[in-house]
Amino acid sequence: MLRVSKLGDYGTMIMVHMARQPLRLFSACDMAEATGLGPATVSKLMKCLAREGLLVSHRGTHGGYRLAREPTEISIAQIVDAVEGPVGVTECSVAAGTCAQEATCTVRAGWQGINSLLRASLENVRLAEFARTTEGMAGDEIVASPGE
């Protein structure tokens, strides 16, 4: 089954919460309380998102994290990549040389095509779109087609 991991989902939750107040500084404790996630998990994810350039860290007593860019400039693919690494339906669809069957594989090109479509869809959906949706809404409000 293809799915985003819990950490990928949690990272997206954090980013969505921050996108709704893009100028505010959030501490890991603030974010843990707001999202209902564990403080250690939130701290780890916020550090990871900052390391990948999606959040900016401000030190000090009144420090915290904020978005590094506008929510319209951050794709869901960037968030998932920051937390999980590159999205891939198979190992070989992400990087060459990872499978002993690569030279004779008859399905690699097909998986790479599917991976490209998935990647394009995640790139086309922006954090701002996720932030506009509200709890309880069906997921069909966000539609991304490759090439949009």
The per-residue pLDDT for 79 is 98
144 in any annotated domain = no
Residue 91 located in a structural domain: no
Domain count, the chain: 1
Question: In which domain, by residue range, is 46 found?
Answer: 6-85+126-135
Residue among 127, 130, 122 nearest 148 (CA): 122
The pLDDT assigned to 68 comes to 97
Q: What is the pLDDT of residues 40-75, one digit of tens each?
A: 999 999 999 999 999 999 998 888 999 999 999 999
The CATH number linked to 51 is 1.10.10.10
The verdict on residue 27 lying in a domain is yes
- pTM assigned to the model: 0.84
* φ and ψ of 114, to 5 deg: -65, -40
Tell me, yes or no, whether 113 lies in a domain.
Answer: no
In a domain, 1, yes or no: no
Helix (H) or strand (E) holding 65: strand 64-67
